Amino acid sequence: MTSTTNDIVKKWYVVRAVSGKEKKVKQYIELEIGRLGMSDYVSQVLIPTEKIYQIKNGKKVSKERSFFPGYILIEAALVGEIAHTIKNITGVIGFLGDKTGEAVPLRMSEVNRILGKVDELAESDAELSVSYKIGESVKVTDGPFNNFSGIIEEINEEKKKLKVMVKIFGRKTPLELSYMQVVKE
């Protein structure tokens, strides 16, 4: 009896990779699996990433960041030479597993949590990675008070809002501004 691809039971595993080289390692794994005709056994190679926004020169810049640096998720059936082949790919340190070095599959609940987080992060407007402090001086970059400078009085992390005290016509006036409307001076 010949086995069909439907008979292959795949599980999710974590591959440890050289930190910072996750994208390259993912490419190497995909190329090698394709080259060796093992794609029936390895169906997905994922790097869980999150989008973060940073303010650079007054502009909102988004970039992706791995939220498990050094780890790649792989959906595979580790039969025959497959685990050995993956371990020998450039940049792969090995599988996350037990003390003997055996690859231990993730529980489905863990996979769903990680993949759910990936979806959630893709949907949610990414976190802004700028930290502000009370008493810090900022310059308004947006709205009617563009180019005014002020001092941060309050920070609302949840809403990503700041109360900034700005001098307008010689009087101190509180403004409520979002993180995106100011830059540090």
CB 184 within 8 A of CB 132: yes
Task: Identify the pLDDT of residue 121.
Answer: 54
Q: What gap in Å lies between CA 164 and CA 172, rounded to an integer?
A: 10
Task: Identify the pLDDT of residue 145.
Answer: 81
- Report the C-alpha dihedral over residues 124, 128, 132, 136, rounded to 10 degrees: -120
- From residue 92, alpha-carbon distances to 24, 88, 126 in Å are 10, 7, 29
Torsion sign, CA atoms 125, 130, 132, 136: negative
For the segment 129-143, the average pLDDT, to the nearest whole number, is 83
The pLDDT tens digits of the residues spanning 3-41 come to 444 578 899 999 999 988 999 999 999 999 999 999 999
Q: Label residue 113 by pLDDT band (50, 70, 90).
A: confident
- Please identify which residue in the block is written with the tokens 């990503």: 160
Among 3.30.70.940, 3.40.605.10, 3.30.1490.20, 3.90.79.10, name the CATH number for the domain at 8-128.
3.30.70.940
Domain 8-128 shares a fold with domain 137-184: no
Backbone φ, ψ for residue 31 (5° rounding): -65, -45
What is the third-level CATH fold of 137-184? SH3 type barrels. (2.30.30)
Task: Identify the pLDDT of residue 130.
Answer: 67
Sheet holding 182-184, edge to edge: 171-178, 161-168, 149-156, 137-140, 182-184
Most confident range (mean pLDDT) of 67-71, 87-91, 127-131 is 87-91
Query: Which of 160, 15, 171, 37 is CA-nearest to residue 89?
Result: 15
The pLDDT tens digits of the residues spanning 139-179 come to 988 877 888 899 999 988 878 889 999 988 888 888 888 88
Domain spans of the chain? 8-128, 137-184
Q: Label residue 117 by pLDDT band (50, 70, 90).
A: low
For the segment 87-116, the average pLDDT, to the nearest whole number, is 85
Task: Identify the pLDDT of residue 3.
Answer: 45
